[in-house]
Copies of this chain bind each other. A is one copy, B any other.
């Protein structure tokens, strides 16, 4: 599983960080998935290897503009490129309303169907052949969700000894069993794939959370998850000064939570634009890193635009730096 940050700034863009957007794929394979779509997401996509033509679904965490205002441009650009494949948008219903109003009042029509799916529905679940997706309600100024992405249809290994013991000879049936399909033999015997194959590893699981002032809400979801991408808008000192109203998390708060639930990999993002990325800038993004490291012993990353991450089958996470 690969993911690339298209934006890592909270509220407004800076010269080096766009507002929220994250591209997710199966290690270079198509299709891919987008989580949030701040203004300029289509511009960021011009600099990475993800094309809107292969985009399968967009997951919106919540309705705020820094997570949604890139939708009209991205959707109409896909249309200008001639997209015909349907596109799923998993989102609070209000986003559907504003997209429809924008399309109707800008002489825009799309060359492909949009399927709006309510992210706030009880028991939300989405899947395609590659991924199963659930979500978790967070605590923010508006309804907001974390999306939990779990691999589906993992590769199976044949239990060759068992097949031979049962007198089942190598042939096309073996291939079907390995693909997960049950097979009926000429003599009428039915072979169940799950009896003759096994899955040699754990399904990878990644959580991408929206804005949230209560990381503890993710405790259950983090069990069995390998990476959490979570906002850390401020250091604790700034969070205390700003007060509770914006309903964001501090680096300390997220780090403490991740430590409590023994999360192996934590990627922080959605930094207030006050934090500068240049080493000499003040206040500095490194303050957020230093604060988080004090409270978390797992593998910690601070996201930057265009950095990509790969969650390997062995569940290790590595970062591929942007050029």
A46 interface neighbour in B13, B64, B81, B106, Cβ under 8 Å: B13
From known contacts A18-B43, A97-B105, infer whether A76 and B65 are also in contact, taking CB-CB under 8 Å: yes
A72 within 8 A of B: yes
Does A42 contact B13, Cβ atoms closer than 8 Å?
A: yes
Any B CB within 8 A of the CB of A12: yes
Is A29 in contact with chain B by the CB < 8 A criterion? no
**Also in contact, A108 and B65, with CB within 8 A (given A43-B40, A43-B43):** yes
Contact with B along A52-64 (1 / 0, CB 8 A): 0000000000011
The answer to whether A174 has its CB under 8 Å from any CB of chain B is no
Kindly provide the distance from the CB of A102 to the nearest chain B CB, expressed in whole angstroms.
5
| A11 sits at the interface (CB 8 A) | yes
Q: Check if A69 is an interface residue, CB within 8 A of chain B.
A: yes
Q: Which residues of A (32-49) have their CB < 8 Å from a CB of B?
A: 39-40, 42-43, 46-47
Per assembly, the copies of the chain total 2
Q: Are B64 and A106 in contact (CB under 8 A)?
A: yes
Q: Is the interface of A mostly helix, strand, loop or mixed?
A: loop
How far apart are A234's CB and chain B's nearest CB, in angstroms?
15
**A165 shortest CB reach to chain B, Å:** 60
Minimum CB–CB distance from A7 to chain B (whole Å) comes to: 10
Which A residues, 112 to 156, have Cβ-Cβ distances below 8 Å to chain B?
141-142
A17 vs chain B, min Cβ distance (A): 11
One of B39, B47, B104 near A73 (C-beta < 8 A): B39
Closest CB-CB distance, A96 to chain B, in whole Å?
9
- Interface contact B77-A72, CB-CB below 8 Å: no
Q: Which residues of B contact A68 (CB under 8 A)?
A: 106
A107 to B211, CA, bound (A): 14
Contact with B along A72-96 (1 / 0, CB 8 A): 1100110011000000000000110
Interface: A287 (CB within 8 A) = no
Interface residue A101 (Cβ < 8 Å from any Cβ of B): yes
Please give the distance in Å from A174's CB to the nearest CB on chain B: 48
Task: Offer 14 A-B interface pairs, CB within 8 angstroms, sorted by A.
Answer: A12-B77, A12-B80, A12-B81, A39-B40, A39-B43, A63-B105, A63-B107, A65-B72, A65-B102, A69-B76, A94-B105, A98-B101, A98-B102, A101-B101
